Structure 1
């Protein structure tokens, strides 16, 4: 596998250009060979016609006188050998070599060309037929002229090689320009690389596209989008650490004060009371810590750490109600579920959805007075632009939440309760994070009679 972008782009250029140069060179060679053959053939037929014009009758017999000009036209630096033969139609040799490799067709109307071997060398031959009259007698005379092909090959080289050189120079020039162009055009992306290498490890500012080409800008845009998501994730983590440090400082301080007070206590009879208070503080801190961890998990529920799949909300709700039945019984609260569905399957994480229901129902139980009622409802809504969805309602007849602060209760650590009432202010923020990660929505409203609170969660139904 070739890793170099320059080399790979060069190959994309060189392969087609090499094929083109090869085909072009082959075509140029064929054209040069055809031109050289045409020139040689014209010289051969001109010589043959000149010789044929010298055939005459003397004393009733054909004779021929070969003019020097008929052979001088073949003079060339290649010093090709020239052979000829003048033959009557009765195979009477008038001039030339008797072993000349030609078999003229006396019935031919046009010059006939052929390439053969003679004396171990290729020979280009033309046979020209002329009619000869003598006192009403018609005789045919064949003049055959042949020339070796050294000059023919030299002429091909002279015609073909300049074209080949031009093609090779063009190929080398294209390679050089591609290398130079890539070096210049890659500078902006290398500048982005240098900017990344030089920046502070904690810097999450977006990259500058600068003079980056249009085709490369999506890379920087994708990196910037990743930086933005990473920045949001880091911000969430920093906020979580700050919130955790701030919220844990108070109970830790209280526990430390209680320990110091117990150490200075002189009356052993008061020790159980101090230990009970210490135990309560420890339990509150444990609850706060669990809530903080749950909030952290809810914020990260969009990541791959929480795989998603089909989850039956009815089964999850039944499990949560079983776990909270003891708390409801302790407070004398009527806790139940109302639904006409056999199943309510959504795409989500079972642990996260169970945590969402746990917080909603736990909040309702905490703020509903003794002898109250908390009801979990589950229904299906079909149609609409968003498709089918399941509607979960958790309603109670407690003090409710005023309309003007219903949105604020989703803020971290905001509590719409009396100072001495237990709670961390994290339950509803956890619920919203989980619901949003599941592509759902949550709203808070007052029941029809105006007392209590109804939390409504809508989650997309799993198709199928």
Structure 2
């Protein structure tokens, strides 16, 4: 047997609580259940109602641009006709506005027409004196028609103006080359333009007033039709029996609802498994509790009928023994149920130092090993062995393995708990070995079953210890191996080596760096 560090200190009591501490008191919040129909309707109608006035504004701008174009062309024709009648004779600017030309200016019976003619010195030749002058920084270009908005008699008008080159209008040629530009302006009010814009807008908006309610009705109908599969799914689920946990048929649901149905089926599967585990737990507990309870009842009735004190004492001893057996079985059933329902989601794994955890668990069994005259030892690596797991569950696993080792090891034998690690393969090993009778190869497939007992062992127990070990190992993705003790040479007592293989965390360091 290798050198081992033996624990000779008294056992210390470790109090474990089965109830999980509450994380905090959740404050009740009043939640309003939003309708999916209303949510989609809001997201569809709100943009629609916001875009409607925006479309009206864009329509107005486009209509205004469309209305300006023909009226600007007509206004350009008018200012061109007037400009063609401007001449310079003997240094004086004169106009030859005939009757037809004047009729062109006043042919409009809706808009007011204003015109103005200024000579090269800015002196008005003819027209309305209140028409404002153009304000442009660039030098004027002769015979180029330009447009602007301005006010005449406090009324907004559209003005077209041209600078006339008087050199080209002179009857008698002049030698002067100094530019001489006369200004001709023609303006009109905006009544006709506004009327055309309003007609265009009415032609666009009136149909929108009809289309918008129709669109709302179509959206409402489409949403009702589109959400009908949800209502049908709800009806199918409500029509189920309370105990029907079979998967929901996903053949008649739209593609968008398939993830929801898949999640519901997963939840139903987990719920079904949980209910099966609970039913199995209740059935096992009821079945296994019959024997100790029946024995306790028989011993209590027997004690009541006895008059001899020694017989009463024997009955009470047997009653206490049955009570202790029943208590142990209840505790192991609870431990098994807790292990089966333990998931990383309910209690996240934590970083643990495996040697320290094993040492703490081993101390609880020192007194028991003294009473049974068994040498209980502990071996650990020279470095920390870090694993991720649940400390309570791993201690429960180790306690069951130590309990089995002490129960099956004869007086004068030994049991050793060992912690090792293989850094190359990133594996941690938790071993419990003894020099007891061992476990036959054909029995090793069955010992992890619930309530399975090896015939002829003559050791009291419930048959739940190794089932608990298996459940906890599965929760930690650990492997279990049952081997003969390589340090035992006797065929009658080959001993047993139980090895639990866990995943080693990469930041394992020598113990000297931790202390």
TM-score, length of structure 1 as denominator length: 0.85
CA distance in 1 between counterparts of 2:83 and 2:454 reads 127
Partner in structure 1 of residue 158 of structure 2 = 124
Q: CA deviation at 1:380?
A: 0.3
Would the aligned equivalents of 2:303 and 2:312 in 1 still touch at CA under 8 Å? yes
Report the CA distance shift for 1:55/1:281 in structure 2 as closer, same or farther (over 3 A): closer
Would the aligned equivalents of 1:55 and 1:65 in 2 still touch at CA under 8 Å? no
Structure 1 position 380 matched with structure 2 position 414: no
Structure 1 position 134 matched with structure 2 position 171: yes
CA distance in 2 between counterparts of 1:295 and 1:337 reads 26
Would the aligned equivalents of 1:132 and 1:141 in 2 still touch at CA under 8 Å? no
Structure 1 position 234 matched with structure 2 position 271: no
CA distance in 1 between counterparts of 2:214 and 2:228 reads 21
Would the aligned equivalents of 1:106 and 1:142 in 2 still touch at CA under 8 Å? no
Q: CA deviation at 1:141?
A: 6.8
Partner in structure 1 of residue 143 of structure 2 = 109
Partner in structure 1 of residue 459 of structure 2 = 421
Q: CA deviation at 1:295?
A: 1.5
Would the aligned equivalents of 1:10 and 1:175 in 2 still touch at CA under 8 Å? no
Structure 1 position 343 matched with structure 2 position 384: yes
Gaps of 5+ in 1: none
CA distance in 2 between counterparts of 1:14 and 1:250 reads 71
Q: CA deviation at 1:108?
A: 2.6
Stretch moving more, 266-275 or 281-290? 266-275
1:402-441 correspondence to structure 2 within 5 Å: 402-418=440-456, 420-441=458-479
* Number of equivalent positions: 458
Q: CA deviation at 1:19?
A: 6.1
Stretch moving more, 350-359 or 161-170? 161-170
Offset from partner CA, 1:280-301 (integer Å, 9 cap, x none): 2222222222221222222223
Would the aligned equivalents of 1:345 and 1:461 in 2 still touch at CA under 8 Å? yes
Partner in structure 2 of residue 458 of structure 1 = 501
CA distance in 2 between counterparts of 1:391 and 1:116 reads 95
Partner in structure 2 of residue 369 of structure 1 = 410
Would the aligned equivalents of 1:54 and 1:66 in 2 still touch at CA under 8 Å? no
Structure 1 position 41 matched with structure 2 position 72: yes
Query: Which residue, out of 371, 375, 378, partners 1:330?
Result: 371
Structure 1 position 65 matched with structure 2 position 93: no
Structure 1 position 29 matched with structure 2 position 60: yes
CA distance in 1 between counterparts of 2:459 and 2:140 reads 130
Offset from partner CA, 1:259-278 (integer Å, 9 cap, x none): 22233335554332222222
Partner in structure 1 of residue 300 of structure 2 = 259
Partner secondary structure for residue 367 of structure 2: helix
Partner in structure 1 of residue 8 of structure 2 = none
Q: CA deviation at 1:21?
A: 5.1
Partner secondary structure for residue 501 of structure 2: strand
Report the CA distance shift for 1:111/1:370 in structure 2 as closer, same or farther (over 3 A): closer
Structure 1 position 280 matched with structure 2 position 321: yes
Offset from partner CA, 1:173-211 (integer Å, 9 cap, x none): 555444332222222223333334443444322223343
CA distance in 1 between counterparts of 2:466 and 2:33 reads 55
CA distance in 2 between counterparts of 1:317 and 1:112 reads 98
Partner in structure 2 of residue 354 of structure 1 = 395
Q: CA deviation at 1:305?
A: 6.1
Q: CA deviation at 1:158?
A: 2.3
Q: CA deviation at 1:379?
A: 0.7
Q: CA deviation at 1:425?
A: 0.5
Partner in structure 1 of residue 255 of structure 2 = 214
Report the CA distance shift for 1:157/1:408 in structure 2 as closer, same or farther (over 3 A): same
Partner in structure 2 of residue 153 of structure 1 = 194
Q: CA deviation at 1:55?
A: 6.8
Partner in structure 2 of residue 9 of structure 1 = 40
Would the aligned equivalents of 1:393 and 1:456 in 2 still touch at CA under 8 Å? yes
CA distance in 2 between counterparts of 1:300 and 1:23 reads 59
Partner secondary structure for residue 302 of structure 1: coil
Would the aligned equivalents of 1:56 and 1:62 in 2 still touch at CA under 8 Å? yes
